[in-house]
Amino acid sequence: MRITHNSAVGPRVRFAPSPTGYLHVGGARTALFNWLYARRHRGTFVLRIEDTDVQRSSADMVTGILEGLRWLGLDWDEGPEVGGPRGPYFQSGRLDRYRAAAARLVAEGHAYYCYCSPERLRDEREKAEARGEAWQYDRACLNLAPERIAELEAVAAPRAIRFKVPSTHTAFEDIVHGRIAFDPRSIEDFVVLRSDNHPTYHLSVVVDDVEMGITHVIRGDDHISNTPKHLLLFEALGVTPPTFAHVPLILGADKKRLSKRHGATSVTEYRRQGYLPAAMVNFLALLGWSPGDDRELLSVAELVDSFSLEGISGGNAVFNVEKLEWMNGQYIARLPAGELAGAVEPFLADAGLPVPRDRGWFHRLLDLLRPRAKRLTDFAELARPFLVDTVEYEPHAVEKHLDAPDVGAHVAALAAALRTTDPFDEPHVEATVRGTAAERGVKAGVLIHATRVAVTGRTTSPGLFEVLVLLGRERSVARLERLVNFLATRRAGRVS
RNA sequence: GUCCCCAUCGUCCAGAGGCCGAGGACGCGGCCCUUUCAAGGCCGAAACCCGGGUUCGAAUCCCGGUGGGGACGCCA
């Protein structure tokens, strides 16, 4: 049997979410950095599901996370649904390995059994807290007498396994932060295997990173303080630790860790709000990282090409939704019409609007609307007048533009003129509108605004001539005539 | 409280001792374009946290302070 040594080919990185929640934008960015690093260096991107917390993990969450990653275009080389030579990729399927590792640590004197009750530990912590101090495990079980152990075992007392933290000085070179050192005395003898025989995060993450041949650990800043524990574990297991790169956290506008109260935090939510995956990726990439120059709009290929861990900033970053919106608008403006159509369709459907069967016409409509859209959801409202049979007149539009004298007559005249405008294209339609206004002695604006209300029901829309042409002669004329009727009956109503 | 990380415009970044009288982007203000709304173009306001060093010279290096964040679980 041949062992594949991918590390010789390129770096192996991993994204290891725990399915206790949806895919958070912070997690997505961590995944993105890992992915970019793997792609940049022709390495391997591994996806591993950390579901050792059986209580809080769920299969639905796994599905959601996978969907989120796929939507962003972050494909994994090894992991759920694609498999790979270093599986299983769910920690729940690797329990025996963690138990074996824990047993080995005990056998080799790096860990010991701990029979302390959770209640006692909790009490000690509370007491210490009351004194304003932090409590560290007191090693009560480190040197239990053999007889005592025999007693405890005889009654099958629950036992956990704790790592015996050596006094070795733990320091490491972090790619984004430089050298980070911890005083080993500040690290307690942490549990590696719970009394229910399940590993803690520290054990599973290290065992997996070893067995999966991970060369670079790119993860959130919040793991810095866990790193010395991991380092110690790697050492006890006799393995050279991977290289670490701790990326800063994403904060909300109040500089607190981004959470639900700041608004949307899940990738799925942004997707629903009408953001394009490419914009999301671009934006996330620039949160805490920069290519080193002033480029803002970078394609995935460009990101891959310029990504480097050294370019990651050390400070936390505030999630700036306004910039995301702007960026999304930029991507909407540039997306090929065909792709934009596909992206917009579900949002039209959600709004109860029909998707035009004439693709060419649909594309022209989209081209008219796109400079006005920041999110895909905007298209529903923007497109409504073009997709419904009868437009509704917005009250303020009626007030603002239909009260001028003789508006009805002007509009009627335009309707008549438009019947014979040939060809019915922008230059000719514009000439007709302006000509009609001139003939009737009103400023073009008056007629234009009234006409806009007639065909869209609103005070704002894309350029009126483009709108008329896109709607076509029949619909345009019909809408103008309908407005004439509307004004007539409205006046009648007022008189009586 | 202890340990760790961080510190340039409101926000995201550029800046790795002289090129910085600090550059880009979002947002904001103004002007232009214009039938409205956008988009676009141009212009503008806006920052090196404070105090000590080191150096001929510091946004850049060192120390301290302050501020912000994170971690202190048989959660991950």
> Quick check: is A443 catalytic?
no
Return the closest-CA partner of residue A47 out of A21, A72, A11, A83. Answer: A83
Specify the nucleotide whose C1' lies closest to residue A254 (CA): B68
Per-residue tokens: A337: 């019409």
* CA atom of A255 to C1′ atom of B36, Å: 39
Specify the nucleotide whose C1' lies closest to residue A326 (CA): B26
Q: Give nucleotides in strand B with any atom < 7 A to a protein C-beta.
A: 1-8, 10-15, 23-27, 35-40, 68-76
Per-residue pLDDT of chain A (496 residues; tens, 9 = 90+): 334 444 457 999 999 999 988 999 999 999 999 999 999 999 999 999 999 877 788 889 999 999 999 999 999 999 999 999 998 999 999 999 999 999 999 999 999 999 999 889 988 888 888 877 788 999 989 988 899 999 999 999 899 999 999 988 789 999 999 999 999 999 999 999 999 999 999 999 999 999 999 999 999 999 999 999 999 999 999 999 999 999 999 999 888 888 888 888 899 999 999 999 999 999 999 999 999 999 999 999 999 999 999 999 999 999 999 999 999 999 999 999 999 999 999 999 999 999 999 999 999 999 999 999 999 999 999 999 999 999 999 999 999 888 888 899 999 999 999 999 989 999 999 999 999 999 999 999 999 999 999 999 999 999 999 999 999 999 999 999 999 999 988 777 765 5
* CA atom of A403 to C1′ atom of B3, Å: 72
- In Å, how far from its chain's centre is CA A231? 31
Place of tokens 């719970």: A194
The DSSP bridge pattern shows strands A12-15 and A44-47 to be parallel
Specify the nucleotide whose C1' lies closest to residue A312 (CA): B13
**Residue A436 · residue A414 · CB < 8 Å:** yes
Task: State which amino acid sits at residue A67.
Answer: E
Catalytic: which of A127, A260, A323, A443? A260
Considering only CA atoms, name the residue closest to the C1' of nucleotide B70. A222
Task: State which amino acid sits at residue A61.
Answer: M
**Residue A340 · residue A366 · CB < 8 Å:** yes
Residues constituting chain A: 496
- For A283, the 3-state DSSP assignment is helix
What's the CA gap between A171 and A181, in Å, rounded? 4
What's the CA gap between A59 and A26, in Å, rounded? 21
* CA atom of A262 to C1′ atom of B6, Å: 22
pTM for the full predicted model: 0.93
**Residue A457 · residue A392 · CB < 8 Å:** yes
Sequence-distant contacts of A179-186: CB under 8 A, at least 24 apart:
A180/A224, A180/A227, A182/A225, A182/A228, A184/A228, A184/A232
For Cα atoms A484, A490, A493, give the angle at the middle one, nearest 5 degrees: 145
Going by the DSSP 8-state scheme, the letter that residue A249 receives in this structure is P
**Residue A78 · residue A84 · CB < 8 Å:** yes
